[in-house]
Structure 1
Amino acid sequence: MHKTLIIIAIACLVAAGAAWAQSGPTAQQVGQDAKTAVDTRVGTQKAYDSWADERAKLRDDAETLQRELELAERQCKKSEAYLAGQKAKVADLEGRLREIERIRAELEPYLDETMERLDKFVAADMPFLAKERHDRLASLKAKLDDYDASLALKASRVLEALYIEAQYGGTVEVKEEEMTLEGSAKGVRVLRLGRLGLYALGLDGRTAWRFDRPSGRWVREDDFARELGQAADMAARTRVISLVELPVGPAPAKEARP
């Protein structure tokens, strides 16, 4: 019975081996599986390498974006500082514009008033350089009435006119011209000593007049004709400077030479 069982077991093993041999993988299948495994490994390595490159690129891109973000933040802060500075400048300019408007509102009337006072002063002054002074004041008035002229230009022209009029008080002038004196036209030498005195000397050297400011008329001063001639020569630089006696101030009702 034991032998029978052993024979049966051996038979079963043989049958199983035969069955396994028939059902196990062939060499071709093993080779194919190996190739598939190798291909999978190669594909996996390529995918890994590709992902490594992509990861490095993404890392570089992330670093670049981070730097750009930091730069943008700095620029934003700087722009905010610039904006605050510009706002301060705008506020300052607005304040200056308001101040300019205030000055204009106050200065323009003052310039007009100064022009009016200057006009009255010239009208009441000694009658010298009448056309030149009249033309200057007319030009000044036209400039003050010019809407397009800047306030600075208007102020400059007023100051210039005042300066020129002030300069007349410290200058000496002599020239020949024709004047109406005592009802007739006469050729004379006109001598101006600043604003101290204005004189007219006949070309004959014997007749003389001086302008009397209070009365606004020319007063005969023949007694001083010689001295006036000397003063005129000195003003024209044709005579050595010396002391001469000339009448000044309001003309008396009757004046005699001492």
Structure 2
Amino acid sequence: MSKVSNRTKIATALVGALALAGSNLVVADPLKEVQNADAQIHADAAASQKKVDSYFDQAQDMLFEYGSVADEREALKAYNDYLASLVADQEKTMKSIQDDINGVDKLRQGVVPLMFKMVESLEQFVALDLPFNTEVRKERVENLKNLLSTAEVTLAEKYRLILDAYSIEREYGTFVAVTTGKLNLDGKEVLVDFFNLGRVALYAQSLDQKTGWMYNSETKGWDKLEDSHLRELTKGIRIARKQGALDLFALPIPAAETAK
């Protein structure tokens, strides 16, 4: 081979080497751009991940808050249901009370006339009964009559006092008592001991124990007792005053058909 050819080969090789070197220089710039782009991608990915984490945390917080709100809602619903049941029960109670009030008004219309009738009957009873504790009993009836016209006393209290008066009159039927007072006989007053055997009989005896009488419900007067009864009458009076031992004594009593 000639020297020209060798030189040509050398020149060709140099040209190829330069061409290759130029080619590497050209390829180097896109690679760097790729690397930069990859770094940016990683940076953007990291930033995005931070945003995702932030959104996740917010979502968790919102989920927890939602759960709390839901629990509170259920609690409020249960409480509202409870209040609704209370209101319904109160409304039912109010209706019952109103019905009772309406019933009381109707009852009042019937009770008031009844109370007047009871006091009137009690007054008649005292007038027809044996004349013992007469002033006290008449005064009690008068107080009841005045009470019925008093607005300051409730209807229930008026009714209670009337029942109390009836209870006292009932107790008079079983009590035995002696009181000292004046007996009017033919316009003359005599100081006597009144001996009360419940509503069975009423007697009177002069303080000197020499005369005795028995009340006659039919004639509204006093019948004189025979002397044979005076000792028994004295015994009964002493026993009633607890001045003597308990013992039997015999006294005449009004016949059953005439006793009041």
- Supply the AA of the counterpart residue of 1:241: D
- Give the gaps of 5 or more residues in structure 2: 1-7
Q: C-alpha offsets along residues 177-227 of structure 1, whole Å, 9 cap, x if unaligned? A: 233333233221110111121111001111222222222223333533333
The correspondence of residues 232-247 of structure 1 with structure 2, limited to 5 A, is 232-239=237-244, 240-247=246-253
Cα contact 1:206–1:226 (8 A) shared by 2: no
SS at match of 1:206: coil
Instruction: State how many pairs are aligned.
Output: 244
Q: TM-score, normalised by structure 1?
A: 0.78
The correspondence of residues 181-220 of structure 1 with structure 2, limited to 5 A, is 181-220=185-224
Counterpart for residue 120 of structure 2: 116
Aligned equivalents of 1:24, 1:153: Cα separation in 2: 116
Give 1:248's match in structure 2, choosing from 233, 236, 254. 254
Whichever of the two has the greater Rg, that structure is 2
Cα contact 2:190–2:206 (8 A) shared by 1: yes
Q: C-alpha offsets along residues 12-37 of structure 1, whole Å, 9 cap, x if unaligned? A: x78x859958x94797x889767655
The correspondence of residues 16-27 of structure 1 with structure 2, limited to 5 A, is 20=26, 24=29
Give 1:91's match in structure 2, choosing from 75, 95, 113. 95
Q: C-alpha offsets along residues 27-65 of structure 1, whole Å, 9 cap, x if unaligned? A: 7x8897676555434332322221111110000011112
- Supply the AA of the counterpart residue of 1:154: K
Aligned equivalents of 1:165, 1:145: Cα separation in 2: 23
1:72 to 1:247, Cα distance in 2 relative to 1, 3 A = closer
Aligned equivalents of 1:39, 1:142: Cα separation in 2: 106
Aligned equivalents of 2:40, 2:186: Cα separation in 1: 141
The correspondence of residues 44-59 of structure 1 with structure 2, limited to 5 A, is 44-59=48-63
1:150 to 1:100, Cα distance in 2 relative to 1, 3 A = same
- Supply the AA of the counterpart residue of 1:92: S
Instruction: List, as ranges, runs of 4+ consecutive aligned residues in structure 1 with deviation greater than 4 Å.
Output: 16-21, 23-27, 29-39
Give 2:66's match in structure 1, choosing from 53, 62, 69. 62
Aligned equivalents of 1:128, 1:94: Cα separation in 2: 48
Q: TM-score, normalised by structure 2?
A: 0.77
Q: Report percent identity of matched pairs.
A: 23
- Supply the AA of the counterpart residue of 2:237: A
Shift of 1:237: 2.8
Aligned equivalents of 1:236, 1:98: Cα separation in 2: 54
- Give the gaps of 5 or more residues in structure 1: 253-258
SS at match of 2:85: helix
Shift of 1:153: 2.0
Counterpart for residue 149 of structure 1: 153
Q: C-alpha offsets along residues 102-143 of structure 1, whole Å, 9 cap, x if unaligned? A: 222111211110111101111222221122212322332333
Aligned equivalents of 2:161, 2:49: Cα separation in 1: 92
Aligned equivalents of 1:117, 1:154: Cα separation in 2: 16
SS at match of 1:119: helix
Cα contact 2:214–2:222 (8 A) shared by 1: yes
